[in-house]
Structure 1
Amino acid sequence: MSNPIAVLQEIGRIFQKEENNFAELSNTISIFKNLVNELSTLDLENETARKSLFLTNGKALGTTWAALCLDDVLRTKMFIKGVFKAIEQLRKKSTKPIHILYAGTGPYATLLLPIFASFTTEEVQATVIEINTESFENMKRLINKLGFDQYILSYENEDATTIRLKNPETIDIVLSETLQCGLIKEQQIPITFNLLQQVPENTILIPQSLALDICLLNYAGLKNRTENTPEESFCSVLERVIEITNKAATQFQLDLNTSATQILAQKQIMLPMDKMSLYDNVALLTRITVFENEKIAINESGLTIPILLKKEIDLKT
């Protein structure tokens, strides 16, 4: 590839567009994958690369599975677009370099490569954290090959759920995308809580809001919806189970030294009988606001596919 920096700049430009041209986005993801794969020495078919790390606070993806997150088109676009918007907002308020803490980089540091290509080191700097050693080493080599080493304040091959930050007061953005649908298994929530307890209170968190809703769902309505179909026509929210924002550390007051469940408790939710004929599923919905109006809607990503909790035969009896 003749000029990878120019390629990354163009990727960043396309991902910042307001409209979603899926042919263009799919082609851009392919170009992005080819670039990072050409500069990497990973064998993604290797059994070691496929092994995830199962930790007290969740699962850290194996290198292969972390690399495949790039294939989720809207997930990748919206997160990168959100980071661009957050940086531009902060640059209007300050002339100092924006310090991004990126926890869970995977083997490519996907969300920062177009950022580094588009800003100078006087504008953006980063601390990067990755627990998986194979992913960590590839990420370091990739950043070095691209000439982005000068953007990195610190490389940390550490567990982001327990790490003690060296200069937390300098951090402007906490970025972590260690997500699975329904916020299960992976480490997003414990990572978020650990880091938020250390950084300034007004630090921007990306994703800005993560929430889980219990809802009644008309599955046919969901499948047949168009871009302009209102969510209320196929989904009725019963209750918000949890919402994580940059206020979560003070809101929940977690003890990170215990593995006991501290956020979610057993709760009974009554199904409204007057609505049952309109819906055929009870579902758990993951709501993701990346930054301000940049949101990932239902079914737009593998992260926001509804988790069906109860099927039609149970609801109608």
Structure 2
Amino acid sequence: MPNTLIPLVAALLDAPDAARAKPLVDTLVATLCQITAIDLHPELFRDEHASITAFGKAVSPTTAAQCAEDVERTRVFLQGVHAAVSKRLAALPEDQSLSILYAGTGPFGLLLVPLLPFFDHSRLRVTLLDIHADSLQALQQVLDAFDAGKAVASIVQADACQWQADSTYDLIISETMREGLIQEPQVSVFSHLVQFLAENGELLPQRIELDLWLSGGDNPMHLGPLFTLERQTATALQRGDLSCLQGSLPVPEYSSTLTDIKLTTYIQVYPGYVLLENQSQLNLPLYERNALPRPGTLLQYRYTLGEDPRWQFGYESLRNQPLPDSDAPGGLGVFHLARFWHKAQAQKRSQPLPEGLDTATEWQLERMLMDVLALGLEPTLERVYASHSLAEFERWVLDINPDVASAEYRQAINQRLRQWAEGARVSPAAGFIDGPLNAEQLQHWETHGYIVVPGILSEAQCTQAREAIWSFLEMREDEPASWYKSSSAMKKVMVQLFNHPALEAARSSQRLQAIFKQLWQCDDLVISTDRVGFNPPETDHWRFPGPAMHWDVELKSPIPFATQALIYLCDVAEHQGAFSCVPGFHHNINHWLEQLPPDTDPQDQDWSQWAVKPIAARAGDLIIWHQALPHGASPNRARYPRFVQYINMYR
């Protein structure tokens, strides 16, 4: 048998990685099972022969044998122990022997016995120790197979955490552990046996380092070292100093994707022979899921010795914290901004929002917040979810709107938002605010639910806005082929351009604002920071993608009063992708909704059966419609694109 085993082990000692080692380990384990008659994977296996000691779980002989199948653990430990024994022997005078204690041998003695044929047995004095008699009986068969008995001074059945040696050892080997040093007694084994280590002796593995991380995203954040088991800490523990088993780590600001606490295990068997995260079962990370420790606090940790060794963590969790009030200032000092970000992070983590939260009112406040800060709804929603910290989100807000740095600007915004949040709202009421619309226009509005107001923007202002859109889309007016290039900035015919100086002419128009105030009969309105639209002519290869006819309001009777609007930035004929609506439907919508059969989707309509009207108008003209009107763009069958700027005011 040694003629078969020794070349196998020699090849394993030369294996550079797990891939090369696997067939060798598989053959070695199969051979050892044959020698010991161990059934490695019995049909019904409950590990009932494990021993639960006062220091942790001593796994059964079968489980200990199964550990040999962990290829990288077997390769690295065998190579590391071989290097340690070789170096120690080389440093000793030839007339001196090397004393080795191997505690927790299991049935194979895998970390040392296969190596014994490679050394002069007369220079070794080995003690083999295990708690299970069955393991030691099988171990004797392995020793015989390797013809290594002459190197062994004694075989002891005992608990390694209580056994008393009558001499010291140059090397003490023990791998009685799981990932994170949980459940099994590795810490207690080393902290007890270290007293029997010679003055210049070594523990193998030399170092077991545990670290804590915040995890959950692509880039985990290292919180710090948790504990290192080595000769120094083992000696301190043996003397009764348990201070290394507890402590605290500061929690910094971190990405909101890092929801978990992760504990990693690094093992250095001997210099140059290490096991890293996920390389073996011993290095599997441990997680405390959805932990969310609060930044700026301390994460407390403590290792508990005893029958079930394990780590305990104490921390203040965002998971258990209420949302900050709207008045919570954050770094910028903008009303509701910190609450907005914290709520987005809670929703991203699928955390329940506070019971009784008026989500509709909160959303209205957040919509106003985005508009008064001139941020734009869609880019802000994307950023508030993607920002890993409130500080990162606030930096983005400042980049988009540098005016927020002004205390006077913030004060005006905060006053307006706070008044709205506290209920200082004015309902629309007819007749007391006059404005640019004449009686005929107001009658048209009342009858049809929309109006076209000419000349809100000048020709020059429309040209500047179109040029901004051409540039943003990287298209050329004089190259029709470029109008159809794919762009991530396009969503159907909507263009995700929200902030540009050319778009401010409409938003700052006093005439436009007066029209909205007249229709709303309210002078405390917020103007939207909305996007633009680009609808090129249809071709054989490009068809109008929508949006087709639809409503943007929740179709639940009664439909409240509100407006929507856009400005044509070029002349638009009826067949040029014109805005379309169903005039007058605001009078009928509530009755229509109430008559719909149950489980009917009101948005799912055959619009060819409806009186849909395309609205032609000139560049600079404003089209306002009641939100109860179904509306949409239409296919462009002209020769020039349709350009629009979406805009609205609301309360």
Q: What TM-score, normalized by structure 2, do the two folds share? A: 0.42
| 1:271 matched to 2:247 | no
Structure 2 letter corresponding to 1:78: V
- Which of residues 262, 266, 271 is equivalent to 1:287? 266
In structure 1, C-alpha distance between the alignment counterparts of 2:260 and 2:283, rounded to whole Å: 16
Q: CA deviation at 1:181?
A: 0.7
- Which of residues 232, 241, 257 is equivalent to 1:247? 232
| 1:192 matched to 2:190 | yes
Q: CA deviation at 1:178?
A: 0.7
Residues 15 and 78 in structure 1, CA contact (< 8 A), matched pair in contact too: no
Query: Over aligned residue pairs, what C-alpha RMSD do you find?
Result: 2.4
Q: CA deviation at 1:176?
A: 0.3
Distance of aligned partners of 1:12 and 1:264 in 2 relative to their CA distance in 1, 3 Å threshold: same
**Matched residues, number:** 292
| 1:311 matched to 2:290 | yes
Q: CA deviation at 1:103?
A: 0.3
Q: CA deviation at 1:100?
A: 1.5
Structure 2 letter corresponding to 1:129: L
In structure 2, C-alpha distance between the alignment counterparts of 1:6 and 1:281, rounded to whole Å: 51
In structure 2, C-alpha distance between the alignment counterparts of 1:307 and 1:48, rounded to whole Å: 23
In structure 2, C-alpha distance between the alignment counterparts of 1:21 and 1:298, rounded to whole Å: 14
In structure 1, C-alpha distance between the alignment counterparts of 2:15 and 2:31, rounded to whole Å: 24
In structure 1, C-alpha distance between the alignment counterparts of 2:128 and 2:173, rounded to whole Å: 10
Q: CA deviation at 1:312?
A: 7.6
**Cα deviations across residues 37-72 of structure 1 (Å, max 9, x unaligned)?**
111133453869642100001110011111100011
Q: In the alignment, which residue of structure 2 is the partner of 1:235?
A: 220
Structure 2 letter corresponding to 1:244: L
Residues 49 and 134 in structure 1, CA contact (< 8 A), matched pair in contact too: no
| 1:28 matched to 2:24 | yes
| 1:15 matched to 2:18 | no
Q: In the alignment, which residue of structure 1 is the partner of 2:646?
A: none
Q: CA deviation at 1:114?
A: 2.4
Structure 1 letter corresponding to 2:192: N
Distance of aligned partners of 1:26 and 1:299 in 2 relative to their CA distance in 1, 3 Å threshold: same
Residues 117 and 146 in structure 2, CA contact (< 8 A), matched pair in contact too: no
Q: Which has the higher contact order (CA 8 A, sep 6+)?
A: 1
The range that moved more, 301-310 or 279-288, is 279-288
- SS of match in other structure, 1:242: strand
The range that moved more, 245-254 or 180-189, is 245-254
Percent identity reads 24
Q: CA deviation at 1:21?
A: 5.0
| 1:201 matched to 2:199 | yes
Structure 2 letter corresponding to 1:294: Y
Q: CA deviation at 1:121?
A: 0.4
Residues 214 and 285 in structure 1, CA contact (< 8 A), matched pair in contact too: yes
Residue pairs, 1:1-317, within 5 angstroms: 4-17=1-14, 19-20=16-17, 22=19, 24-44=20-40, 45=42, 50-94=48-92, 95=94, 96-168=96-168, 171-218=169-216, 221=218, 234-255=219-240, 263-265=244-246, 267-273=247-253, 275-277=254-256, 279-311=258-290, 316-317=345-346
Structure 2 letter corresponding to 1:41: A
**Cα deviations across residues 142-184 of structure 1 (Å, max 9, x unaligned)?**
213432211110100011001111222xx21110011101101
Distance of aligned partners of 1:305 and 1:121 in 2 relative to their CA distance in 1, 3 Å threshold: same
- SS of match in other structure, 1:139: helix
In structure 1, C-alpha distance between the alignment counterparts of 2:87 and 2:2, rounded to whole Å: 24
Residues 128 and 155 in structure 2, CA contact (< 8 A), matched pair in contact too: yes
In structure 2, C-alpha distance between the alignment counterparts of 1:73 and 1:21, rounded to whole Å: 6
Q: CA deviation at 1:237?
A: 2.0
Q: CA deviation at 1:280?
A: 4.1
Q: CA deviation at 1:111?
A: 1.2
The range that moved more, 302-311 or 277-286, is 277-286
**Cα deviations across residues 91-121 of structure 1 (Å, max 9, x unaligned)?**
2210223222100000110112321121220
**Cα deviations across residues 207-237 of structure 1 (Å, max 9, x unaligned)?**
0001211112245x4xxxxxxxxxxxx3332
Residues 201 and 247 in structure 1, CA contact (< 8 A), matched pair in contact too: no
For structure 1, list consecutive stretches of 5 or more residues without a partner in the other structure.
222-233
In structure 2, C-alpha distance between the alignment counterparts of 1:310 and 1:109, rounded to whole Å: 37
